[in-house]
Amino acid sequence: MTVGVILALVATTAIAAPAQAQNQGASALSGGYADCPVSHVCLWDNMNYRGGWLVLGSDSSDIGNWRDRANSMRNRTGYPVKLTDKRTLQPDDSIRYAANQSENDFGAFGWNNRIDKVEILD
């Protein structure tokens, strides 16, 4: 009987953990390009949609401890997005992506590890 209870707890924890992590915005698990949910913007810490990832909902712009970390992005919101590099005592640089556009390597044009803010535009 004890074994059944332990297995039930393990199964419940394994199922609940990814959903809880996704609701907080960041997942401890790695997800690829196809794993980015519809109506969200996803950032990955490595190029080609690999490594740890951050999932942002339509009302999110604060990327918290993901500042200066992202190396690839997928926009599945259906709206354009603006990515900003906040700079001290200088104008902020930004780049825009069209609705449903993606970028597999920010480093290809000097933007790896520079994104501080994500804005979903109307």
Which whole number is the average pLDDT over 93-116? 95
Tell me the C-alpha distance between 102 and 81, whole Å: 10
- From CA 122, how far away is CA 107, in angstroms rounded? 27
What does the radius of gyration of the chain's CA atoms come to, in whole angstroms? 17
Mean predicted confidence (pLDDT) in 57-86: 90
Average pLDDT over residues 79-84: 95
58 in any annotated domain: yes
The domain of 36 spans 25-120
- Residue 28: per-residue pLDDT: 40
Q: Would the CA dihedral through 72, 76, 78, 81 be positive or negative? A: negative
- Tell me the pLDDT tens digit for each residue of 47-60: 999 999 999 987 66
The pTM assigned to this predicted structure is 0.74
Residue 20 in any domain: the answer is: no
Q: Is 44 contained in some domain? A: yes
The phi and psi torsions of 83 (rounded to 5 degrees) equal -105, 130
Please count the structural domains in the chain: 1
CATH of the domain at 62: 2.60.20.10
Q: CB within 8 A of 86, min separation 6: which ones?
A: 92, 116, 117
Question: pLDDT at position 58, please?
Answer: 72
Q: Are 95 and 109 in contact (CB under 8 A)?
A: no
pLDDT tens readout for residues 33-50 = 999 999 999 999 999 999
Q: Tell me, what DSSP letter sits at residue 62? A: B
pLDDT digit string (tens) for 3-44? 333 333 223 223 222 332 333 444 445 689 999 999 999 999
